[in-house]
Amino acid sequence: MSREIKLALVYRDMWQSSGKYVPRVDQLLEVADPIIEMGCFDRVETNGGGFEQINLLFGENPNISVREWTTPFNKVGIQTQMLERGLNGIRMSPVPKDVRRLLFQVKKKQGTDISRTFDGLNNPQNVEHSIQYANEAGMISQGALSLTYSPVHTVEYYIDLANKYVDVGAQEICIKDMAGIGRPVSIGKIIKGIRANHPNIIIQYHGHSTPGFSLASSLEAARNGADIIDVGMEPLSWGTGHADLLAVHAMLKDAGFTLKDINMDAYMEVRSLTQKFIDDFLGYYINPKNRYMNSLLIGPGLPGGMMGSLMADLQKNLKSVNKWLTKNDKPQITQDEMLIKLFKEVEFIWPKLGYPPLVTPYSQYVKNLALINVMQVIKGKERWSLIDENTWGMILGKSGKLPGKLASEIVLLAGERGKEFTNERPSDLYPDELDVYRKKMNEKGWEFGQDDEELMEYAMHPQQYEDFKSGKAKRNFEEDLAKRKAEKISQGGAIELPESIEVDVNGAKYVVTLGSSLKGNSPSEQSHTTNTNTAGDYVVAPLEGTFYFTKDNNEKPKAIGDVINKGEVIAYVESMKVINAITSEYSGKIVEILVQNGDEIEEDSQLFKIS
């Protein structure tokens, strides 16, 4: 009898590999029964990763969404799985241990069966607590190997890593080929080696399609002992997403494996509903270039899951670069020229940063630093002149040991900037915080929620949760969506080219703006004009993004009257999902603050007046 291969539908990742948002809870419930009726899935990826942060951003309670979305699958015995980022939980930055433990307790009670835990550095120390907490909560703990291709990431490296994950309690292993750049034969060898060491363990293969290896990799994975293959489906398969269900199913059946049949009537309903959600609002946030495979990504190795944000970031920063070029009587550059510069820069800096696997959040760190370097060099500044706080944390060892060796120029730069390296266990660097958020919620009169799920959400996503509770997030989303719809209707209105992309919706092409949400008459908008009062110096934004006075609860925000020194960090800007410190070029007293916490700011916006 031929061996059975099971399939998992990565419905969450399908969306987040294509664009910014995921369907609303009512849409998820509409598509759940047809997914079940397809009859071919043993698992469905329902939540995790950026799912809940995205819910908050468009004004939806993620806890309600997860509970209702997992229920139909729980009832029929289809396992639900979530993606979890180890030290970073379900956000982009490190999470205290008490918050991480509560996360798993909540997710199990909300109906999530399996936790796929990965660490961007493949550090067993960072996944150990997550595996422990998942097991304690009664979940199936799946340790994921973040696959990449470099001189230090060998077949033997990954086989040994799987052993370490099993040693700390992982019940299953996932081969997480997040960029799709794992070479198919090597993937087969890795799985064969893991299977030889652990004959009875479940092995699941997850591969993105971006550079074109995914079908061959899925076949090699199955031939060498994988039990489950992750798949996407039209209209969100291929491109930066995943190999398509129909292609994988037909290929594996032809190879002699047994698979469950597909109910094609239900398949067509799921396909139709997914397109309906795209037409409703999700398509306004999907870059059409993410619907294509791109073998250029074999070189830089960037993951498909971040290509949506990459293209949006590229559009915004291209505008800034071209504005500077025009101002300095230099020719503008195109998006494609900027993209190739970015890819080349990623290839150049990645080895110098110690070969961190290009997966969340380190793919974001490396991409952001490469993009900033490109912009700085174009503007005649030095490479490495602006490194964000999150990337410094990675460099200094705050997320664990890097796989490779840092370049001497990076070590020297750290010394020049007074940065200190650490060998401490990463989780020990982030003290418990639940009591801090309990106190805040009590002061605000907020309910902790069923099973403390609202407490967990607030501690996991503080700023996004506050914006959700105040209604700011929903207002911003609705304003932004209205703006995009108006531009679609205008079809050829006066839109600045660097801010726009062409989107194909049901065969019709529209111009869609990738700008930030409307800002109204906020202080930050007023500060975008040059202040002609020369009685004082102005600290300006180093790049566009969201302005914050502090980055955590332990910092005291700067205020009028504070005396500061040149080079001192006085605020932060969140840009491209990472935190950048804003330092003062001047010494003196703060006499005016021109922005408010949470304002959207542009590059060179005036923030503080120093006298």
Between 510 and 128, name the one with better pLDDT: 128
Q: What is the pLDDT of residue 477?
A: 93
Cα distances (angstroms) measured from residue 230 to each of 284, 379, 410: 26, 43, 38
Q: What is the pLDDT of residue 93?
A: 84
Most confident of 116-120, 138-142, 315-319, 601-605: 138-142
With residue 593 as reference, give the H or E element that holds it.
strand 588-593
As a whole number, mean pLDDT of residues 538-554 equals 81
| Tokens found for residue 54 | 């995205």
If one counts every other C-beta atom within 10 angstroms of the C-beta of residue 482, the result is: 12
Measured distance CA(162)–CA(191) in Å, rounded? 10
With residue 523 as reference, give the H or E element that holds it.
helix 523-526
Residue 434 has pLDDT above 80, yes or no: yes
What angle (nearest 5°) sits at the alpha carbon of residue 102, between those of residues 98 and 106?
A: 175
Measured distance CA(496)–CA(443) in Å, rounded? 45
Q: What is the pLDDT of residue 491?
A: 57
If one counts every other C-beta atom within 10 angstroms of the C-beta of residue 226, the result is: 27
Nearest to 399 by CA among 408, 407, 389: 389
pLDDT exceeding 90 applies to what percent of the chain? Answer: 64
Least confident of 41-55, 125-139, 254-268, 354-368: 354-368
Q: Is 412 exposed, middle or buried (0-12, 13-18, 19+ CB in 10 A)?
A: exposed
As a whole number, mean pLDDT of residues 176-197 equals 96
Measured distance CA(309)–CA(307) in Å, rounded? 5
Residues 255-267 have pLDDT tens digits of: 999 999 999 999 9
Q: What is the pLDDT of residue 360?
A: 78
Residues 26-52 have pLDDT tens digits of: 999 999 999 999 999 999 999 999 899
Domains of the chain: 434-470 (no CATH), 472-513 (no CATH), 523-610 (2.40.50.100)
Strand partners, 610: 537, 590
| CB 385, CB 369: distance < 8 Å | no
Q: Which residue has the tokens 């399939």?
A: 7
Concatenating the DSSP letter of every residue in 197-231 gives: H-TTSEEEEEEB-TTS-HHHHHHHHHHTT--EEEE
Preceding omega of 235 cis (within 30 degrees of 0): yes
Residues 49-98 have pLDDT tens digits of: 989 999 999 999 999 999 999 999 999 999 999 999 999 999 988 899 99
* 288: CB partners within 8 A, 6+ apart: 501, 502, 503, 504
Instruction: Put the strands of the sheet holding 537-540 in their side by side order.
Output: 537-540, 606-610, 588-593, 563-564
Measured distance CA(336)–CA(326) in Å, rounded? 18
| CB 84, CB 116: distance < 8 Å | yes
Residue 187 has pLDDT above 80, yes or no: yes
| CB 515, CB 571: distance < 8 Å | no
As a whole number, mean pLDDT of residues 419-444 equals 95
Q: Is 478 exposed, middle or buried (0-12, 13-18, 19+ CB in 10 A)?
A: middle
Q: What is the pLDDT of residue 385?
A: 87
